[in-house]
Amino acid sequence: MDQFASRMRSSTLISHQIRSRCTTGASPRLPSRALLHTPGRLVSETPTPAAAAAPLNSRWLSDLQARIRRIASVESRSGRHEEARQLLRLTETQWLGFLAGRDGFLTGEGWRGLDRHQVNWGDMDSMVGHVNNVMYNKFAESARVNWILSHGKRDGPEAAKEWAEIMSPRGVGLILKSIKTDFKFPMAYPDQVTVVYKLAEKPTYTSDHLKLDALLLSEQHRRVAARCIEEVTIYDYRAAKKAVLPSHMVDRLAETFELQEEARREFDERANGVIKAIQEIEAKE
């Protein structure tokens, strides 16, 4: 348990460092930000393995918690049932980070596109008894806009205004080219939905599109309800053709991508620590 506690303290420190750059009032700047200003370097340092990584099984956390509950509910032969209870509390209080953070999503309050948004009775499909499938895409749409706008809010009112402009058809803006929604769990009223977004690949100064992933999570069941895979085209409405974003916006999005990778590493380390601890307990049962 001492080794596990040490691993958790280390992960908590990393988590605090990430959150300190991700709050609404702070700009999430990285120590290596200067490297992002050189187009050649930005392109050459674009990491491809993370972007190509397969999504995690959406039930991995609930399956792990079921294993932990089995040990925590009885006086285990290993005598480590209290340790199992502590692990269970950890996964329950940090479920959003384990589920989404381990998959590279930033889960701090300032990053959530929708944060515990109330599911209404009118969102339901009376024929099937759960939220209408169309509503999942509407939740994602609202969250996408909020997530994009959050990049400007961190740099003051002028930056916020500039980011708001790309959500309008007056100049260079964003158009949803495609969305693929994988339905994982049927949400129903009453519930709350949290939606988090991430960049599926790191943008460059020549990118004329953004590839995004979204997770829609049921707060009541603490499960992934749906996953959206999207491509957004950068479009110049005045010239009626594809375009690129201003370089400082690309820099900001590139920083977000780097923070995503930090979150992925942090929560993967934390999850592996829990998994290893449970495996050790199970081996002695």
Cis peptide before 203 (omega within 30 of 0): no
Q: What is residue 154's predicted lDDT score, i.e. its pLDDT?
A: 79
pLDDT computed for residue 75 by the predictor? 63
pLDDT at 15: 46
Q: What is the pLDDT of residue 79?
A: 67
pLDDT for res 57: 74
Q: Which residue has tokens 């009626």?
A: 240
Q: What is the pLDDT along the chain (285 residues), one digit of tens a residue?
A: 444 444 444 444 444 444 444 444 443 333 333 322 323 333 333 444 444 455 667 788 989 999 998 888 876 555 677 888 999 999 999 999 999 999 999 999 999 999 999 999 999 998 889 999 999 999 999 999 999 999 998 788 899 999 999 999 999 999 999 999 999 999 999 999 999 999 999 999 999 999 999 999 999 999 999 999 999 999 999 999 999 999 999 999 999 999 999 999 999 999 999 999 989 888 876
pLDDT for residue 22: 43
How confident is the model at residue 189, as a pLDDT? 96
* Predicted local distance difference test score (pLDDT) of residue 26: 40
pLDDT score for 99:
94
Buried b (16+ CB within 10 A) or exposed e, 74-110: eebeeebeebbebbbebbeebbbbbbbbbbbbbbbeb
Chain center to CA of 22: 12
| Beta-bridge mates of residue 223 | 218
Contacts of 225 (CB under 8 A, 6+ apart): 131, 136, 183, 184, 185, 186, 187, 193, 216, 217, 218
3-state DSSP assignment of residue 244: coil
Going along the chain from its start, the domains and CATH numbers come out as 2-283 (3.10.129.10)
How high is the pLDDT of residue 43?
35
pLDDT of residue 281: 86
pLDDT of residue 55: 61
CA distance 33 to 229: 28
